[in-house]
Amino acid sequence: MTDTSATQIAQTLVLPYLNHAVRMYEQKYASRGDIDAAMQFGCGYPRGPLTTLDELGLGVVRDQLAARFAETGDNLHKPADLLEALVAEGRTGKGSGRGFYTYADGEVAVDDETPSAHDKPELQHTIASVGVVGTGTMAAGIIQVFAQSGYDVVFVGRGDDKVAGVIAGITKALDKSIERGKLDEGGKSAVLDRLIGSTEREALGDVDIVVEAIAEDLDLKLQLFRDLDRICKPGAILATTTSSLPITQLADATTRPESVIGMHFFNPAPVMKLVEVVTTALTGEDVDETTRTLCSSVGKVAVSCSDRSGFIVNALLFPYLNDACTLAESGVDLTVIDDAIKAEAGFPMGPFQLLDVVGNDVSLAIQQELFAEFKEPGFAPAASLEKVVADGHLGRKTKKGFHDYS
């Protein structure tokens, strides 16, 4: 690539991401609002991709993508059919009053995808107590979120030391909240009093929902779901925080597949607002509605999607990060790319800064899953991403990734 201006770098990386979001909506995988909310609250972007398209102008983006497609022949650059159709209808975005959304006086005027109250199933579940399996960073964050929102939480770890570690970690977090004036000692005591730690899964027998947050290992999770199916009371919801494994397989390991759902929290759970609520073909509508209502009750933004690799956020985020690796391989400096994306797109981190925070090994694994699921040649993991992982440069956790933190 000859032009390495900040604008050109941003276009090179952001245009395919926007196109991918259009295709996701076109396939009815998720609603407009949920696609936009997922990227805002899951990645900290200033606005979602479909709102961005409306602001940039659909015709402008279509023409830029068409020029890229003519140059590269890459299907990821071919303007999505829906983008072409909207432009042909004159729905070119905010400037024309209609694009992905309808506008009046520059503001979104109509959201015709919001279900009416009559469309929502009646809640069959009341959530009073929550179970969590796991004691890692994600599990501890989820335990804290529920306890701070007034729920009694039974959590299970592999040993007394792990259980004690969770309570110590939450205590430390609550002490910081007290220092910042956001909590008092009474509030801290109330949160800690709601925690019941155990090393036995049988302690989960009476909870209304169990959220599983153990290692991303399918065999371990399958065994856990068989156990939960045996232990948990009839009607209890079984949720998984997996970001990458097929939830349908976990459901199939139980005698209650209608009660199995994904609740993909983002790390750190007490801070990040987003939860992807993931249904399988067998998840009950009332289970879905109860889970989304539960998310709202703990101050989270729930977005809905079905059981597919990457869900919304990872499916849109990681191909963009992979494209950044490919761009760097063409000779563009990493820091130049990072700075261009922050300045031009308004993203909170550059792609290489983010890869190093996520972990390059985790990033490579997700990209491999997306490539395997979608069979899109442009999703093949970039050689430079494979190399940093092979070299053991996994990011901040090893003090070296794409950038050096030593």
What CATH architecture applies to the domain 6-114? Orthogonal Bundle (1.10)
Q: Which of 108-117, 259-268, 310-319 has the lowest mean pLDDT?
A: 108-117
Q: Is 118 a catalytic residue?
A: no
CATH class of 313-398: mainly alpha
Per residue in 344-399, pLDDT tens?
999 999 999 999 999 999 999 999 999 999 999 999 999 999 999 999 999 999 99
| Catalytic entry in 314, 322, 360, 363 | 314
Residue 13 in this model has a pLDDT that exceeds 80: yes
- Are the CB atoms for 242 and 264 separated by under 8 Å? yes
Domain ranges in the chain are 6-114, 129-306, 313-398
- Are the CB atoms for 389 and 322 separated by under 8 Å? no
| Residue found by looking up tokens 């000779």 in the block | 331
Task: Give the strand order in the sheet containing 152-156.
Answer: 195-198, 152-156, 129-133, 209-212, 237-240, 260-265, 274-279, 301-306
d(CA 238, CA 260): 5
On the question of a common fold for 6-114 and 129-306, the answer reads no
| Catalytic entry in 19, 264, 304, 393 | 264
Tokens of 127: 């959530």
Q: Which pLDDT does position 221 carry in this prediction?
A: 97
Residue 77 in this model has a pLDDT that exceeds 70: yes
- Are the CB atoms for 56 and 62 separated by under 8 Å? no
| Catalytic entry in 276, 289, 304, 369 | 276
Output the CA torsion 269→273→113→281 (10° steps).
0
| Catalytic entry in 19, 31, 243, 360 | 243
In whole angstroms, how far apart are CA 285 and each of 125, 212, 278, 288, 299?
A: 11, 20, 12, 5, 22
Residue 295 in this model has a pLDDT that exceeds 90: yes
Q: Is 376 a catalytic residue?
A: no
Q: Which CATH number fits domain 129-306: 3.60.15.10, 3.30.70.3270, 3.10.20.740, 3.40.50.720?
A: 3.40.50.720
Q: Is 264 a catalytic residue?
A: yes
Kindly state the DSSP code that residue 98 receives in the 8-state scheme.
B
- Bridging pattern class, strands 274-279 and 260-265: antiparallel
Q: Which pLDDT does position 120 carry in this prediction?
A: 62
Decide: helix, strand or coil at residue 329: helix
Q: Is 276 a catalytic residue?
A: yes
Per residue in 306-350, pLDDT tens?
999 999 999 999 999 999 999 999 999 999 999 999 999 999 999
